[in-house]
């Protein structure tokens, strides 16, 4: 009989649903060493939890997340709540001896993230953080090409994650626009993805940053309809990056970039070639190499197919394309195999703590007008 891994999901908004889809689909897409079972779901009230458990196919529900983390039948606590709750929920889950799968950013601050790393490592539980874009076939291929030396030695990284989900000034003040509930703004939300991506793709750690942040829409209508409130974090940000090897690069991120819906993109330039990628065309990777005569050189488009990482598990037909939720299915495969096979998971709490530290370093750099080293965080 295959082993079962009982999942306890907290939060059923955008991400909670994406995780539920992934847990259900993962055993049909991949041959897993154990089956994830959608066992217990927690929401803010008993009624909402019960309805969501029915809709998302969970066995049981509770209106109190403490009940979930302390339930002896739960193996993995999956945290899909707003950022400010990640730390409290993760520490409680770790204290109860559970493995923890958390959404990003890991915490509101680097110090909080550090506390979570220490607790998880001391308890010896497995952790995984939802930086799902690194699971896309094209991005896994980009990393393979860089690591193989096919484009020579890396000499530059350029990355952005720009969206326009808050470009409408009439959209209300929600948890994402408040310091106490979100931490940083675009920089912590979508910016965290491109910072993690920079380290994943290059295989190198960022050591120093020089940042700049701005809030473009300073006030938003309050959710109760009574007046407006001050937006407490950045709408967009950018930073110069220096990696430990001396490699240089830059990043930008926005939640008010009109027209950009899924604008995660990067260019990796090497001494012998380059890679260009845009998540709005997530099945395509642009590759330039110095092979062949000058007159025939140019970027070529590689359309993902069964020869590329993790694609064939979804489809035997080239060019038919994966989607956003497929990245989460791959992430869940890694979670289950990491737990059952006792393998290292990436990005775990320690890796995600680095991202929190980079976010804070960019904020400090902006405030103090100087380069900031990650070790200052
Ligand atoms: N990896 C990604 O691509 C990605 C995308 C979007 C969001 N996220 C992250 O996922 C997390 C959730 O974001 P979202 O967009 O799903 O938010 P959301 O507002 O859509 O959903 C949050 C859910 O948490 C529930 N919740 C709040 N307090 C709770 C409590 N005390 N107990 C139980 N449930 C509670 C809410 O009722 C809601 O259902 C955030 O950390 C966000 O940064 C990641």
In DSSP notation, 214-248 reads: E-SS-EEE-TTSSSEEE--S-SEEEEEEEETTS-E
Residue 95 pLDDT more than 90? yes
Element containing residue 51 per DSSP (H, E): helix 46-56
How many angstroms is it from 310 CA to the middle of ligand 1? Answer: 27
Query: How far is residue 311's CA from residue 331's CA, in Å, rounded to a whole number?
Result: 13
pLDDT digits (tens, 9 = 90+) for 125-138: 999 999 999 999 99
Burial code (b: 16+ CB inside 10 Å, e: under 16) for 307-320 equals ebbbbebbbeeeee
CB of 135 sitting under 6 A from ligand 1: no
The closest residue, in CA terms, to atom 33 on ligand 1 is 43
Q: Does the CB atom of residue 56 touch ligand 1 within 6 A?
A: no
Average pLDDT over residues 31-59: 98
Q: Is 6 helix (H, G, I), strand (E, B) or coil?
A: strand
Alpha carbon of 355 to ligand 1 centroid (Å): 19
Residue nearest to atom 30 of ligand 1 (CA): 44
Residue showing tokens 């009439």 = 170
Residue extents of the structural domains in the chain? 3-132, 134-320+354-368
Q: Is 44's C-beta closer than 6 angstroms to any atom of ligand 1?
A: yes
CATH H-level superfamily of 134-320+354-368? Dihydrodipicolinate Reductase; domain 2 (3.30.360.10)
Q: Encoding tokens for residue 190?
A: 């979508």
**What pLDDT, on a 0 to 100 scale, did the predictor assign at position 323?**
97
Q: Is 81 in the pocket of ligand 1 (CB under 6 A)?
A: yes
Length of the chain as a residue count:
377
Lookup: tokens for 160: 């952005």
CB of 130 shorter than 6 A to ligand 1: yes
Q: What is the per-residue pLDDT for 2?
A: 55
Query: Does the beta carbon of 174 lie inside 6 Å of ligand 1?
Result: no
Structure-block tokens of residue 354? 């680095």
Closest CA to 377 of 264, 209, 223, 152: 209
Q: How much is the pLDDT for 177?
A: 97
d(CA 71, ligand 1 centre) in Å: 21
pLDDT tens digits for 227-284? Answer: 999 999 999 999 999 999 999 999 999 999 999 999 999 999 999 999 999 999 999 9
Q: How far from 6 is each of 14, 38, 61, 63, 89, CA to CA, in Å? A: 21, 6, 13, 18, 17
The set of residues, in sequence order, having a beta carbon less than 8 Å from that of 33 and lying 6+ positions away, is 2, 3, 336, 337, 340, 341
Q: What is the CA radius of gyration of the chain?
A: 21
Q: What are phi and psi of 49, to 5 degrees?
A: -60, -40
- CATH pick for 3-132 out of 3.40.50.720, 3.40.630.30, 3.60.21.10, 2.60.40.4070: 3.40.50.720
Asked whether residue 75 carries a pLDDT value surpassing 70, the answer given is: yes
pLDDT band of 1, cuts 50, 70, 90: very low
Q: Which of 88, 103, 332 to mutate to test the pocket of ligand 1 (most atoms within 8 A of CB)?
A: 103
d(CA 217, CA 143): 36
Binned at pLDDT 50, 70 and 90, residue 106 comes out as very high
pLDDT (tens digit, 9 = 90+) per residue, 195-238? 999 999 999 999 999 999 999 999 999 989 899 999 999 999 99
Instruction: Please state, in angstroms and rounded to a whole number, the distance separating the CA atoms of residues 324 and 25.
Output: 13
Percent of the chain surpassing pLDDT 70: 99
The verdict on the CB of residue 189 being under 6 Å from ligand 1 is yes
Please give the mean pLDDT across all residues of the chain.
Answer: 97
Helices marked H in 149-220: 179-182, 186-189, 191-202
Please name the residues in contact with 24: beta carbons below 8 A apart, sequence gap of 6 or more.
38, 57
Minimal-distance CA residue to ligand 1 atom 1: 130
Cβ–ligand 1 distance for 83 under 6 Å, the answer yes
Ligand 1 atom closest to residue 14's alpha carbon, by position in its atom list: 16
Round to whole Å and give the CA distance between 142 and 159: 13
Cα separation of the two ends of the chain: 47
CA 145/CA 151 separation, integer angstroms: 7
Residue whose CA is at the smallest distance from ligand 1 atom 6: 15
Confidence of residue 356 (pLDDT cuts 50, 70, 90): very high
Q: Residue 15: pLDDT band by 50, 70, 90 thresholds?
A: very high
Q: Is 176 in the pocket of ligand 1 (CB under 6 A)?
A: no
Whole-angstrom distance, CA of residue 315 vs CA of residue 267: 28
Question: 65 alpha carbon to ligand 1 midpoint, in Å?
Answer: 13
Q: Is the pTM of this model over 0.85?
A: yes
Q: Is the pLDDT of residue 22 over 60?
A: yes
The fraction of the chain above a pLDDT of 90, given in percent, is 98
Instruction: Give CA–CA dist 275/268, Å, rounded.
Output: 5
* Neighbouring C-beta atoms of residue 377, cutoff 10 Å: 20
Report the separation in Å between the CA atom of 81 and the middle of ligand 1, taken as the mean of its atom positions: 4
Cβ of 188 below 6 Å from ligand 1: no
């Amino acid at each position: 009989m295959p082993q079962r891994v009982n999942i306890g999901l907290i939060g059923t908004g955008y991400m909670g649903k994406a995780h539920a889809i992934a847990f259900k689909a993962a055993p049909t897409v991949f041959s897993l060493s154990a089956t994830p079972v959608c066992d217990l779901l927690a929401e803010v009230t008993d009624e909402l939890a019960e309805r969501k458990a029915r809709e998302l196919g969970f066995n049981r529900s509770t209106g109190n997340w403490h009940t979930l983390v302390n339930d002896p039948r739960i193996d993995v606590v999956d945290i899909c709540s707003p950022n400010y709750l990640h730390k409290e929920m993760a520490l409680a889950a770790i204290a109860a001896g559970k493995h923890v799968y958390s959404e990003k950013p890991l915490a509101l601050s680097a110090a909080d993230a550090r506390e979570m790393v220490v607790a998880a490592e001391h308890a010896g539980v497995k952790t995984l953080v939802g930086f799902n874009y690194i699971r896309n076939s094209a991005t896994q291929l980009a990393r393979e090409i860089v690591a193989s030396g096919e484009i020579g030695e890396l000499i530059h990284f350029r990355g952005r994650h720009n969206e326009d989900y808050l470009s409408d000034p009439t959209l209300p003040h929600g948890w994402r626009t408040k310091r106490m509930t979100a931490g940083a703004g675009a920089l912590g939300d979508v910016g965290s993805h491109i910072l993690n991506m920079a380290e994943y793709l290059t295989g190198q750690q960022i050591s120093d940053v020089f940042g700049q942040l701005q809030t473009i829409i300073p006030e938003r209508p309050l959710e109760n309809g009574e007046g407006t409130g001050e937006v407490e974090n950045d709408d967009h940000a950018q930073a110069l990056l220096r990696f430990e090897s001396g490699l240089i690069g830059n990043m930008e991120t926005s939640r008010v970039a009109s027209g950009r819906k899924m604008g995660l993109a990067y260019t990796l330039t090497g001494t012998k070639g380059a890679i260009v990628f845009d998540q709005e065309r997530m099945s395509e990777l642009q590759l330039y190499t110095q092979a062949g005569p000058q007159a025939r050189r140019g970027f070529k488009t590689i359309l993902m197919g069964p020869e590329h990482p993790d694609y064939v598990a979804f489809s035997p037909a080239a060019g038919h394309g994966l989607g956003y939720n497929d990245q989460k299915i791959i992430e869940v495969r890694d979670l289950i195999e990491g737990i059952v096979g006792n393998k290292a998971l990436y990005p775990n709490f320690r890796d995600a703590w680095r991202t929190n530290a980079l976010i804070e370093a960019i904020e400090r750099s902006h405030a103090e007008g100087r380069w900031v080293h990650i070790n200052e965080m």
